[in-house]
Amino acid sequence: MSASEMTPDELAKACADSMWANDEASQSLGMQIKEVTSGRAVLTMPVRSDMLNGQKICHGGYMFLLADSAFAFACNGYNQFTVAQSCKIDFLAPAFVGEVLTAVAEERYREGRSGIYDCTVSNQDGKVIAEMRGNSRTVKGQHVPDGDGGGS
């Protein structure tokens, strides 16, 4: 099925499937895609012992990577390659080995080539661990053939 024949949520899922096939970074950290719809993505990641810093808490870089991956899947669902232009994260609480973190990224604004997405990272008990805001920018390329032989 071509991109032009899909519903917005079907297209978002097809784009996510295309991206996931090549996303060795997210896969290697044990992330799982739980949900992808138009402008929204939910990913999980277990906190492993090799993700701990010197204080025996999850290194902020891993929490940022989870949030950034959810952001990527949320903003790439329109069949246009989209990258992070900038991101800001606030770490609110520590995460510990054995916890499962969930990142929920949601679109707040999208116009032209730019978008704004908010991502909340929480643990398995629902405690908010971090909040991230990402600004996206579309670039050349598509995830799914559009049926007309073109691409932007």
Write out the two tokens for 88. Answer: 């800001």
pLDDT of residue 2: 83
pLDDT higher than 80, residue 132: yes
User: What's the distance, Cα to Cα, between the start and end of the chain in Å?
Assistant: 19
Q: pLDDT tens, 44-98?
A: 999 999 999 999 999 999 999 999 999 999 999 999 999 999 999 999 999 999 9
Q: Whats the size of the chain, residue-wise?
A: 152
pLDDT of residue 35: 97
pLDDT higher than 90, residue 42: yes
pLDDT of residue 3: 85
Coil/strand/helix, residue 13: helix
3-state secondary structure 69-81: HHHHHHHCCCCCC
pLDDT higher than 50, residue 150: no
Q: pLDDT tens, 3-16?
A: 889 999 999 999 99
Q: What is the CB-side half-sphere exposure of residue 71 using CA atoms within 13 A?
A: 30
| Alpha carbon distances (Å) from 57 to 26, 31, 90, 136, 142 | 20, 18, 16, 29, 38
pLDDT of residue 151: 45
Domains and CATH numbers, the chain: 3-138 (3.10.129.10)
